[in-house]
Amino acid sequence: MANTMIYEFNDYKKYIHQWLKSTPNEGRGLRKAMADAIGCQTPFITHVLSGEYHFSPEQGEACGRWLGLNEMEKEYFVFLVQRARAGTKELEDFYGRQITKIKHQSTVLKKRLRIDSGIPPEKRVEYYSSWLYGAIHMAIMIPELQSTEALVKYFNLTRARVLTVLNFLDELQMITKKNGRWTQLMPSLHLEEESPLNLQHQCNWRLRAIESIQQKKPENLHYSAIISTSQEDFEWVREKLAQTLEQLVDRVKKSKDEKLASVCIDWYQV
């Protein structure tokens, strides 16, 4: 079955149209299969997708199952059906809030990227107090930066400062030293969105991004803009950025360790 991201859509009919279009034969023959799955006649499917007719909640749930949606995606789909059927503005707004809530849950990166934080709670404050802990933690994945001396030179810091960070990471069993070289034991971390340390973590790396902007290196990419957009397109961009981050994480997991980089993406209402 086609894999179309449902959270990009605020209209269940548009989603079905796109889903059908993305199948190998662009949906030919599938309307009958859909009708059989939800217990109706094929002409009714055509009336729904091209007119003012709507699925019932029961038909919406059955259609979601037929489309292969998981539980949260199916819930989102059924709420889209319910909002489209709403007879009052108040009920439409009610279902709109449920839709927004699920869409937000779908973009919580800890759930989407499936990354766990293995740092004991009592040690997280120190780890996220400075950009340097995360930077050195990731830097030692690069073969050329697996010695203390190389890290001192790369970050242009004192040996004592670098050793403080290395010893901290070593004590937490996030790294270890073998044959004079530091190696990685815990390559992936993610700080929960609701954590009180998240503000400090975000600020640390955005301050580093400002330093990078000032350096004006041609290989770096920085972009800022103020954009006027519809609510629908605002949510569309948020979903696209979340998808991009998923793809980024999947790719760099398999990437050769050669460069140390930081990614900071901001998309918010001003």
Structure tokens at 244: 């991009």
**Residue pointed to by tokens 């810091």:** 157
Q: Strands, E, within 169-240: which ranges?
A: 175-178, 181-184
Q: How far apart are CA 202 and CA 181, in angstroms?
A: 30
Distances (CA, A) of 9 to 87, 160, 182, 248: 21, 53, 47, 23
Structure tokens at 146: 């697996």
Q: Tokens representing 218?
A: 């041609």
pLDDT value of position 1: 40
Q: Say if CB 175 and CB 169 are below 8 A apart.
A: yes
Q: What is the pTM of this model?
A: 0.56
DSSP 181: E
Side chain identity at residue 206, one-letter code: R
CB 58 within 8 A of CB 81: no
Rounded Cα gap, residues 177 and 167, in angstroms? 10
What string of pLDDT tens digits covers the 270 residues of the chain?
444 578 889 999 999 998 888 877 777 788 899 999 999 999 999 999 998 899 999 999 999 999 988 888 999 999 999 999 999 999 999 999 999 988 887 766 555 655 555 677 778 888 988 999 999 999 999 999 999 999 999 999 999 999 999 999 999 889 999 888 999 888 767 676 667 788 888 898 888 888 888 888 888 888 888 888 888 888 888 888 888 888 888 888 888 889 899 888 888 787
CB-count burial class (<10 Å; 0-12, 13-18, 19+) for 140: buried
Diameter over CA atoms, the chain = 75
Strands (E) in the chain, as ranges, are 175-178, 181-184
